Chains A and B, each alone.
Chain A
Amino acid sequence: MPDKRRRVVITGIGAVTPMASDVEGTWKGILECRSAVDYTTLFDASTFPTTFSGQVRDEALVRQFDGDPELKHSGRNVRFILVAADQAFRDSGLDPAKMDSRRTGVYLGAGEGPPDCVRFGQLLADTWTGTGVDTAAFLSGAVVSLNNLTEVFQEPNIAAGLLARRYRALGPNMTCLTACAASSQAIGEGTAIIRRGDADVIISGGTHSMLHPFGLGGFSLLTALSRRNDSPQTASRPFDRARDGFVLSEGAALLILEELSRAQARGARIYGEVLGYGTTGDAYRVTDMHPEGRSAKSAMRMAIADAGIRPEEVDYINAHGTSTDVNDRVETVAIKEVFGEHARRLPVSSTKSSIGHLIAAAGAIEAILCLLAIRDGVLPPTINYRDPDPELDLDYVPNACRKANVRIALSNSFGFGGQNVSLVLGRYPL
């Protein structure tokens, strides 16, 4: 049994998303039913099967690190999370200089940094023999043309290391990369670390940018992305009959997880409590979800059991809701089965309709949006919901935000390959 004597609350949040370079701007845009999706301008994507994305448009935010001798080699993912972490720390009122370093840790769901596409691609081109790459020529070319730190910054663990250094966090330090479930997993496992007593504060969340030619190209090949190139703003339409794929986005979201009594002792503002966490594997196919959502259901049930609540107590679900045919159908079926009669009254929305899919960072931003729904008593909408799919008949909070008393929210994150994570977040005090 999990040790429930130590409880975990969220006392600081930060985010950089395609909608805005902070949490409140992102929340406002979502409640106003805006779409953060537009044509990709980071590189010329006009010939790709999908020409649009959820790109972070704040270039000044990205460029602020260009003068730093070390960080100038970092990718967008690293820059996003450094900004989000600053916001979250300021928001939390914690002073890293006064914290017990050994009791502060980091658990991120972080993606790899963007590759050096142009230089790497050119190397492959220059060493292509007609049937394969001449590896000897590649090696001798690469030592000249590739940059050490640019390669180093592609490692997914760099962000967690930099945060540890910046905030003097000498406690447990982890990075997980369970595809689209990664940062939800990080929040769940980070909570487990505090509950167990191995840390009092965990800097958690995620960051990712796959908005580069190989990332956009790779997802296009999987036919997972929407190709609604004539209307980017309406491309992400979770649960709608005409949904045709997800929208690739980038960004970071960061949450300060803190042991409850410590947060109370310092009079911290508490956004909510991590009540429950579930993690399961589909064990089905690497390309498809299990058709009945077998392990998606067990992840939700596990999180609900961990929270010690009844399913009927869940007031809102922030769905994984990618806008792909299969996910939205299977997730709907799974929710109906887990919640039974309650599913008919249970609002379920996908904020990916507004901001797209932040991949490894998706779960963390969606957890933050759940906390804001609890704080403000407002449900974020599923926008672009126009043509109901007859099989998909839940209350998707279509096209307008809605006032609601939210005590408990559940957030789903399902990764490619069958990684399923559910989090239960509650108001504090309930």
Chain B
Amino acid sequence: MPRRVVVSGIGVVSPLGQSAAGHFDALADLKCGIAPITAFAVGEFPVKCAGEVRDFKGSKFLKNRKAIKMMARDIQLSVAAASLAAKDAGIYDGVKDPTRLGVSMGAGLIPTELDELGAGVAVSLDEAKRFDLRKFGRDGLANLFPLWLLKYLPNMLNSHIAIEYDAQGPNNCITAGSASGLLAIGEAARVIERGDADLMLAGAAESKVHPLSLVRLYLAGKLSTAPDIAEKGTRPFAKGRSGLAAAEAAAVLVLEELSHARARGARVYAEFAGFGTSCGGQLTEDVSPDGRAAVESMRAALADAKMGAGDIDAIMANASGLSEDESEALAIARVMGAGKAVTATRGATGHSMSASGALDAAVCAMALEKGVLPGTLGAEDPGGLPVTVVAQTREGGLTALLANAFSFGGQTASAVFRRYS
């Protein structure tokens, strides 16, 4: 008998809410999480809005509150989502055998806080005010936080979560851009299937609400400057889409082997039914023009779930308002047939990159449990694209959903979630 994997806990911290239910309800109400940036001054920079988690206090989610000073924003978001997920699953105070509890997180390239490195650089200038590496080595380093490096290592999401919940089992950190979150969840499911753990805290966190991250996305031509972005979002698949909005978020699922969940009477949201990955190898688009990798990962996920295209009620699309949304729509049509129902959340939340696929995995599991499929904020005529964008939130009759998450760099991840009954 193959070991089956279910979702038995969910934690979300996003621009739409600091709880899984809050996030889901705001999505279903077609609220927009994108708003003027408050974390720092943007001045003349043409992009003024992002998906921020406002009034976030990471320490309140921690058992060991002192650890907060060792955590970059991404890590704080991740431990918050993990805390919510652990509580939801009833494992907050630990599990019977901690060696059977693992951690699998997706993480991004975490940038240093500018003020932190700036303090070291500011004392490392020559007479012409040029940054002088010799001075940095001699004087600059002494002005940095001694644990500076540890604060930004991607696997520190895993480390802090493992410490908080005494997770001594398998531990992996996936760093594949915007595909990271869904890949980390898929990898966690594999670990449970092959018998190396019974429970995994799996998900991702990333904050792109950071000056350096904003600049990177801007230089890559990805950011929208649409004036109505705070009301309509970034309008995935819409004819008038003009780019994405940077965002920050975290989502963690508790994945659990089915009989283990049953034995302890856990609430089951949905079954993790299938997973597929591929890669197009392009450098700067999240779907290659031929859409080949997107097609491959969706087909692989369906095959893994032993399901056909007709068994999938809707796609939680990767689309975020980029021109590449068209390539995803074409790929979906190739796999699923024309006119498939798609809903896209990145328009409402902004694009939290690594975290985005984990957020959608959380939304899939909740949608299947509630029988509610959130609509797409700002949905409008997809301009001839062969998909049906779900504009209004729908109730009833969901049996399976497929989520996509694709990275700049070419990695594609697709996962199928099935209603558990």
Contacts and interface: CB of A to CB of B under 8 A. Distances in A.
Interface of A: 1-3, 43-49, 70, 102, 105-106, 110, 112, 117-118, 120-122, 124-128, 130, 132-140, 142-143, 146-149, 151-152, 154-158, 160-166, 169-179, 185, 189, 192-193, 195-196, 198, 213-215, 217-223, 279-287, 294-295, 298, 302, 415-420
A217 B137 contact: yes
25 contacts: A47-B137, A112-B109, A118-B131, A121-B124, A124-B117, A138-B211, A139-B42, A140-B43, A143-B215, A147-B219, A148-B284, A155-B177, A160-B279, A161-B410, A170-B293, A173-B279, A173-B412, A177-B173, A189-B187, A220-B141, A280-B169, A282-B168, A287-B147, A417-B153, A419-B158
Contacts of A147: 219
Nearest to B163: A283
B240 interface: no
Contacts of B193: 196
B65 interface: no
Contacts of A158: 283, 409
A119 B41 CA distance: 21
Contacts of B109: 112, 154-156
Nearest to B108: A155
B310 interface: no
B122 interface: yes
A219 B149 contact: yes
A178 B158 contact: yes
A236 B300 CA distance: 46
Contact of A46 (B137, B176, B190, B194): B137
A334 B40 CA distance: 48
B41 A280 contact: no
A-B pairs, 4 with minimum CB distance: A136-B43, A165-B281, A218-B149, A417-B159
Contacts of B411: 157, 160-161, 173-175
B277 interface: yes
Contact of B134 (A2, A44, A110): A44
Contact of B167 (A161, A218, A281): A281
A209 to B, nearest CB: 15
B33 interface: no
Contacts of B21: none
A124 B118 contact: yes
A295 B109 CA distance: 27
| Size class of the B contact interface (CB-based, 8 Å) | 35 or more
B177 to A, nearest CB: 5
Contacts of B131: 118, 121-122, 124-125
B114 interface: yes
A135 B211 contact: yes
Contacts of B93: none
Interface in B121-149: 121-122, 124-125, 129-131, 133-138, 140-141, 144-149
Interface of B: 40-45, 67, 70, 98-99, 102-103, 107, 109, 112, 114-115, 117-118, 120-122, 124-125, 129-131, 133-138, 140-141, 144-150, 153-156, 158-160, 162-163, 165-177, 179-180, 183, 187, 190, 193-196, 211-212, 214-216, 218-220, 277-284, 292-293, 296, 300, 407-412
B339 to A, nearest CB: 26
A154 B283 CA distance: 12
A62 B88 CA distance: 50
B169 A174 contact: no
Contacts of B194: 1-3, 192, 195-196
Nearest to B407: A157
A221 B280 CA distance: 39
Nearest to A286: B159
Contact of B140 (A178, A192, A217, A417): A217
A155 B408 contact: yes
B175 A175 contact: yes
Contacts of B98: 283
Contacts of A174: 174, 176, 183, 187, 277, 411
Contact of B175 (A177, A279, A282): A177
Given A47-B135, A174-B277, A125 B171 contact: no
B160 A286 contact: yes
B192 to A, nearest CB: 12
Given A179-B153, A213-B136, 13 more contacts: A44-B137, A112-B109, A126-B129, A142-B212, A152-B220, A157-B176, A157-B411, A162-B283, A164-B410, A171-B277, A172-B278, A417-B159, A418-B159
